[in-house]
Structure 1
Amino acid sequence: MRPGHWHLTEDVDGFLDRAGDFLQSRPALHTLPLTVTAAVRDRGAGAYAAGAPIFGWLERGGEVRAAFFRTPPHRLVLTPLAAGEADALAAHLAGLGYPLPGVSGDRDTATAFARAWQRHRGPRPLLHERQRLYRLGALTSPEPLPEGRGRVAGEQDREQLMRWYHEFVDAIGEVPSSDASSWADTRIANGRIRLWQTPDGVPVSMAGTTAMVAGQIRVAPVYTPAHLRGRGYAAAATVEVSRAALAAGAREVVLFADLANRTSNGLYQRIGYRRVTDFALYDFARSEPEAS
């Protein structure tokens, strides 16, 4: 099989013109490139202080077969690739001197690329996290629900959301995608965060969603402060945003869960989420400076 040809660009509109139909052909599996490229298009590439996002697609026989994106300082994100295709991309990016802190993709693709990157560039890949992608089947509300009710987060919740955003990012060991104020303002304006609050009106958990792209919405983030966990608040908040996503017309509602967290995986399955496939996130051991 011929490896095909990789095309790279910093133009998100040009990328979506060429690869958009391919990404939309499997909305659940391609949830990350669909939602992130939509966000980049809305924000503009200049909003990324760490460097311009980069996009790429693999073309073979005049058709797009795979794609990737990276928004610095985050990992490279890949759609599924054969081992030879992953090796060809790693060789291509290494030849360009392109720096990478890590890679994310379905388990086999991410592992193949991480090993290829080590061969071509040298850094030892370190497994950061294994994730499972779930898709909602029949939504089932947990019984009994905790006392309280769900509601849409509003301007009065801004400081709370900013604080919880920082706590969530710290808890998963990631780099923030945006500053907390912009993150909160965007989601309040679009009504994309649901809170579960106690009967006396105190918020105890949040669950958010991405904008709908290609008929799919991804639930993210789901966060409950550590001292409030184990009371059913996260399940209740997740049911709230899942129901809202369906009401908005989403054909597919998806989410990722850390496979090391048995509690969250069990929770999502109990309320109706079913496995799509497993993902892997790798970090590269030797620090590589960002291109200037």
Structure 2
Amino acid sequence: MSWITTHDLDAFTAAAGPCLRAEPAAHTVLLTVTASLDAAGLDRYGGGTPEFGWWRAPDGRVAGAYVATPPYPLLLSRMPDAAAVELAELLAAGPLPVSGVNAGQAAAEAFAGAWTARTGAAGTVEERHRLYRLGELVPPDPAPPGRARPATEEDRDLLVAWTREFAAESGGGAGDPARAVADRLAYGGATLWEDGGRPVSYAGLTRTVAGMARVAPVYTPPPLRRRGYAAAVTAAVSRAAPATGALDVLLFTDLANPTSNALYRRLGYEPVEDHVVISFDG
């Protein structure tokens, strides 16, 4: 049993890709992040050089993987507890900065427990998310006024501003907002809902990888909320996703936000599993 680490994205994809693609919903974040790094460059998320790793079980199978895009939390695949403990030991002895971990609950808690035991750093749960998969889409009825349309280059400044506002409000982020928007526009991954010819809400869609795409982010400016715009633009993106080759359409919600969880259930999204983000002090 051992971890193999690299800065070579192609080597990581060749070794760990089959394991990740075998469970695309569970590994949606790792798959979409590595797809963005491949398409937009290794500096897509800013910070330091990305690092990748995979873990081989005693029978030689790859049964665990990680993606690190400093300064963001470490992304972990599903993995045995033994792999998570071994990874914590490995990274604690190396130069990679580990600010936290973002993963399915079991892997995140196993790694965090081993990390705090090894380093003495305290772990704090920052966010709890629920992963949903679309069943049968149920569009909002009645629908709000307006229509969906693909975002274009003319919308770039608005999307950058809304991406920045979303990151500030959610406490998350995907690197430089301008870079994130440029990436989404490059593959048609941004949709706007217009009312009276004015954009009022926005939904992104990740690249389709292994038959899976994820709706992210969804943002409506505070003065325009509670009018049904977010539901309408999410439904529009969800309906269009299969045309990109997506067999599974996914999204995450913040478990601290009952409004969004109820909204996506009404649209036909069904819970898959819970994820957690844990930060480490020091």
Q: TM-score if structure 2 supplies the norm length?
A: 0.96
* Alignment partners' CA distance in 2, 1:64 and 1:97: 24
Contact 2:64 2:83 in 1 (8 A): no
Counterpart position of 2:210: 214
The residue type equivalent to 2:157 in the other structure is: E
Range with bigger deviation, 235-244 or 247-256: 247-256
In structure 1, runs of 5+ residues without a counterpart are: 287-292
Within 5 Å, give how 1:98-117 maps onto structure 2.
Answer: 98-117=96-115
Q: Secondary structure at the match of 2:175?
A: coil
Within 5 Å, give how 1:1-292 maps onto structure 2.
Answer: 4-47=1-44, 49-60=46-57, 61-174=59-172, 176-198=173-195, 200-286=196-282
* Alignment partners' CA distance in 2, 1:162 and 1:9: 32
* Alignment partners' CA distance in 1, 2:53 and 2:119: 19
* Alignment partners' CA distance in 2, 1:183 and 1:89: 29
Range with bigger deviation, 249-258 or 39-48: 39-48
Q: CA deviation at 1:11?
A: 0.4
Superposed CA RMSD: 1.3
* Alignment partners' CA distance in 2, 1:118 and 1:131: 22
Q: 1:48 to 1:183 in 2, by over 3 A?
A: closer
* Alignment partners' CA distance in 1, 2:71 and 2:247: 32
Q: Secondary structure at the match of 2:23?
A: coil
Q: Secondary structure at the match of 1:45?
A: coil
Q: Secondary structure at the match of 2:96?
A: coil
Q: CA deviation at 1:186?
A: 2.6
Q: How many residues align?
A: 281
Q: TM-score if structure 1 supplies the norm length?
A: 0.93
Q: Deviations over 1:271-292 (max 9, x none)?
A: 1111110000001122xxxxxx
* Alignment partners' CA distance in 2, 1:250 and 1:88: 35
Q: CA deviation at 1:191?
A: 1.8
- Percent identical: 46
* Alignment partners' CA distance in 1, 2:263 and 2:242: 19
Contact 2:105 2:274 in 1 (8 A): yes
Q: 1:47 to 1:276 in 2, by over 3 A?
A: closer
Q: Secondary structure at the match of 1:276?
A: strand
* Alignment partners' CA distance in 1, 2:36 and 2:68: 13
Q: Secondary structure at the match of 1:207?
A: strand
Contact 2:193 2:202 in 1 (8 A): yes
Contact 2:46 2:176 in 1 (8 A): no
Q: CA deviation at 1:194?
A: 1.0
Q: CA deviation at 1:188?
A: 2.3
